[in-house]
Amino acid sequence: MLIIGNWKMNGSAESLTTFFKTFQESSDAEVQIAVAPPYPYLPSLKAHGASIFMAAQDCSTHAGSGAFTGEVSAQMLADVGCTYVIVGHSERRQYFHETDQTVLTKTQNVLSAGMVPVICIGETLEQRKAGQTQDVLAHQLKLMIQHIAKEARVVIAYEPVWAIGTGLTPENAEIQEGCNFIARTLSDFSDVTVLYGGSVNGDNASEIFGNDAVQGALVGGASLKPHEFQRIIDSAKRRTNFDVNAVS
């Protein structure tokens, strides 16, 4: 499983140190842990947890380097040791007007720089109520299907927009259905991991991970609280133990 903490525009040099005094989990063969702090804190993340993978929250649509004041390219993120880059988060789509084309360009940049894109997709509440969830997901995946090599390693985070930061989560069956739909839609791709994101916390993680279509989580608010994030990781580790036992 893969658990990624998205700190969004939160944290400070001090809070990062405090976080890692309490947060003692490490990645293992079954559960990989990644944290996406704001850009300036990426290097300190590396200093803190050798087994915590570095993730970035975004990257530029421009590749390499150039006269683009304020931008950070995918190559620079790879250079400082990032493994994952989140692209197309609904907050970027909503507040910064990112389109599916923007998300595709960023995805291509991340892949070219040798990292793994974490592509966020999901429906709004209105779209869900109108029964359009699968159409929306299919539409958000369309450019990717057309333009990304089928061998590329990609992570898709199914994040219903209405579940982000609201404390609301879909029914388990809806999570399973959304993640399964994504896996089916991308069945030609050889290396896809499907995460669920949206109000995952220490209390609901076990239940969410009970869906076998869910291969991990993208965690916002709860990833800022070390104990809470730890509980989510513990739930993921219990699920993988369960899987191992179930198979043997």
Catalytic residue among 89, 91, 98, 123: 89
- 124 to each of 94, 163, 170, how far by Cα in Å? 11, 9, 12
Rounded-to-integer distance, Cα 229 and Cα 220, Å: 10
Q: How far is the CB of 140 from ligand PGA (least distance, A)?
A: 15
Does 218 help bind ligand PGA (rule: CB under 6 A)?
yes
Give yes or no for residue 198 binding ligand PGA (CB under 6 A): yes
Length of the chain: 248
User: H/E element holding 193?
Assistant: strand 191-197
Using the minimum distance from each CB to ligand PGA, give the nearer residue, 2 or 219.
Answer: 219
Q: Is 89 a catalytic residue?
A: yes
Nearest distance in Å: CB 86, ligand PGA: 8
User: Could you say whether residue 117 binds ligand PGA (CB under 6 A)?
Assistant: no
* CA distance linking residue 113 with residue 111, whole number of Å: 5
Indicate the residue among 197 and 216 with the shorter CB distance to ligand PGA. 197
Q: What share of the chain is helix, strand, coil (3-state, %, to 5)?
A: 45, 15, 35
Give the binding range for ligand PGA (CB under 6 A) out of 36-44, 100-108, 194-202, 230-238: 194-202
Smaller CB distance to ligand PGA: residue 63 or 124? 124
Question: Does 220 contact ligand PGA by CB under 6 A?
Answer: yes
Residue 42 burial class via C-beta count within 10 angstroms: exposed 0-12, middle 13-18, buried 19 and up: buried
Q: How far is the CB of 6 from ligand PGA (least distance, A)?
A: 5
How does 74-108 read in b/e, with b if 16+ C-beta sit within 10 Å?
Answer: bbbbbeeebebbbbbbbbbbeeeebebebbbbbbb
Q: Strand pairing partners for 153?
A: 191
Contact string 143-172 vs ligand PGA (x = CB under 6 A): ----------------x----xx-------
Shortest Cβ distance from residue 159 to ligand PGA (Å)?
A: 6
Q: Can 126 be counted among the known catalytic residues?
A: no
The single residue among 61, 73, 140, 199 that binds ligand PGA, judged by CB under 6 A, is 199
Q: Which residues contact 140 (CB under 8 A, 6 or more apart)?
A: 88, 100, 103, 121, 122
Would you please indicate which residues are annotated as catalytic (active-site) residues? 89, 159
Residues in contact with ligand PGA by the rule CB under 6 A: 6, 159, 164-165, 197-200, 218-222
